[in-house]
Amino acid sequence: MTPHRDFEYLSSLILKYLKNDITEKEQQILNEWLEESPNNKSLLESFRQTAKVEQDIDQLRSIDVNAQWERFNANIRNSQPKKLRLAKWWPRVAAVLLVASSVAFYVYQSQKKSTASDAVLAYDVNPGSERAILQLADGAVVNLGRYQKHSDHDQAQGFDVKEGTLYFTANHTKSGQTNHHALRTPRAGEYKVVLPDGTKVWLNASSYLSFPQNFDGNERRVQLKGEAYFEVAHQPSKPFIVSFNDTEVKVLGTHFNINTYGNTSKTTLLEGSVSISEGGHQTLLKPGQEALIEQGEIEVQKTEVYKSIAWKEGVFYFKEDNIKEILDQISRWYDVEIVYQGKPSQQAITGNIRRQATLNQVLDMLGTLTNAKFNLTDRTVTVNFNP
Residue 127 has a pLDDT of 93
- Which residues have a Cβ under 8 Å from the Cβ of 327 and sit 6 or more positions away? 338, 381, 383
pLDDT > 70? residue 74: no
Distances (CA, A) of 370 to 4, 79, 338: 12, 38, 16
Region 317-325: what's the mean pLDDT?
Answer: 90
Task: Count Cβ neighbours within 10 Å for each residue of 361-378 and write b for 16 or more, e otherwise.
Answer: bbbbbbeeebebebebee
- Whether the Cβ atoms of residue 375 and residue 119 lie closer than 8 Å to each other: no
- Which residues have a Cβ under 8 Å from the Cβ of 209 and sit 6 or more positions away? 182, 183, 193, 201, 203, 222, 223, 224, 228
Q: For each of the domains in the chain, give its residue range(s) and CATH number, in order of start.
A: 3-114 (no CATH), 129-307 (2.60.120.1440), 314-384 (3.55.50.30)
What is the sign, positive or negative, of the torsion defined by CA atoms of 142, 146, 147, 150? positive
| Entry pTM | 0.72
What is the separation, in whole angstroms, between the first and last Cα of the chain?
24
Of residues 270 and 54, more confidently modeled: 270
Can you tell me the distance from the alpha carbon of 30 to that of 203, in angstroms, rounded to the nearest whole number?
Answer: 42
Give the number of other Cβ atoms within 10 Å of residue 148's Cβ: 18
Give Cα 333 distance to the centre of its chain.
10
Of residues 139 and 45, more confidently modeled: 139
Q: How confident is the model at residue 70 (pLDDT cuts 50, 70, 90)?
A: low
196: closest CA among 177, 180, 184?
Answer: 180
Summarize pLDDT for 224-268 with one digit per residue, the tens.
Answer: 999 999 999 999 899 999 999 999 999 988 999 999 998 899 999
Residue 309 has a pLDDT of 94
DSSP secondary structure of 5-16: HHHHHHHHHHHH
